[in-house]
Structure 1
Amino acid sequence: MEGLGSVLDELQRDQDKKFGIEFECGDCCKKVINGSKLFFIKNFAVLLPDRGDSLLLKVFSGSKLVEQQILRAIIIPAGRICAVEINPVQIDS
């Protein structure tokens, strides 16, 4: 985790970077995007949007989108993270 934290610190020096996280939750896969601050506290990742903005969370089950939520912040158990994305672009088809 220490190595990942130092990489994220370096990436966050560029104020234009956005972060996304894919993580598992039971039988579902979740993806949250539009984060501007990402940091780790103990075994948890904390993702925050820019002030006045929101995160977008998408929940997938059986490879299908089943739910969307708008969040102010999210705390994710680090052991459930599948990927940390830098500047993800949302494409809806």
Structure 2
Amino acid sequence: MSDNPETINNVEAKAFNPFQNFIGRLDKDFQCKVVNVEFSCGECCKKAVGGILTLIGRDFIELTSDNSFEVLTFIPGVATPFRERVRVIIIPLDRVCSVERPCPHKKHEDHKDSC
């Protein structure tokens, strides 16, 4: 192994790049699936619910739906979120807080914790 700090730093940066790992994980486990995405927008927090993750760009993700899906806007000090229906939304990756794959809805409740 070389004692050159630049070489060591370059190897460490390539070995652990959390942003690249996030994009890789999205591509592998979330692409083309129904997802919920929490993201920030100024002082508000938003959540896109039930869109299909159709595109992962360099600095954004795109959710779409043939029908529509809901975007909730949570405003500080307001008890009820503002709701709107959209067919497409583009979300900057640096604003994403979480990406979730929801459990499919079941016709009857069996009270199990697994999907």
Name which of 10, 25, 28 aligns with 1:10: 28
Could you say what the CA RMSD is over the residues aligned between the two structures, in angstroms?
2.5
Task: Give the residue type in structure 1 aligned to 2:46.
Answer: K
Which residue number in structure 2 is paired with residue 29 of structure 1? 45
* Structure 2 residue matching 1:65: 3-state secondary structure: coil
Q: Whose strand fraction is larger, Structure 1's or Structure 2's?
A: 1
Q: Of the two structures, which has the highest relative contact order with CA contacts closer than 8 Å and spacing of 6 or more?
A: 1
Name which of 63, 69, 73 aligns with 1:55: 69
5+ residue gaps, structure 2, are 1-18, 105-115
| TM-score w.r.t. length of structure 1 | 0.74
Aligned-pair identity in percent equals 29
**1:23 to partner: Cα distance:** 0.5
Distance 2:46 2:25 in 1: 23
Q: Whose helix fraction is larger, Structure 1's or Structure 2's?
A: 2
Distance 1:8 1:73 in 2: 18
Task: Give the residue type in structure 2 aligned to 1:84.
Answer: V
Which residue number in structure 1 is paired with residue 36 of structure 2? 20
Distance 1:82 1:88 in 2: 19
| TM-score w.r.t. length of structure 2 | 0.62
Length, aligned pairs only: 86
**1:88 to partner: Cα distance:** 5.8
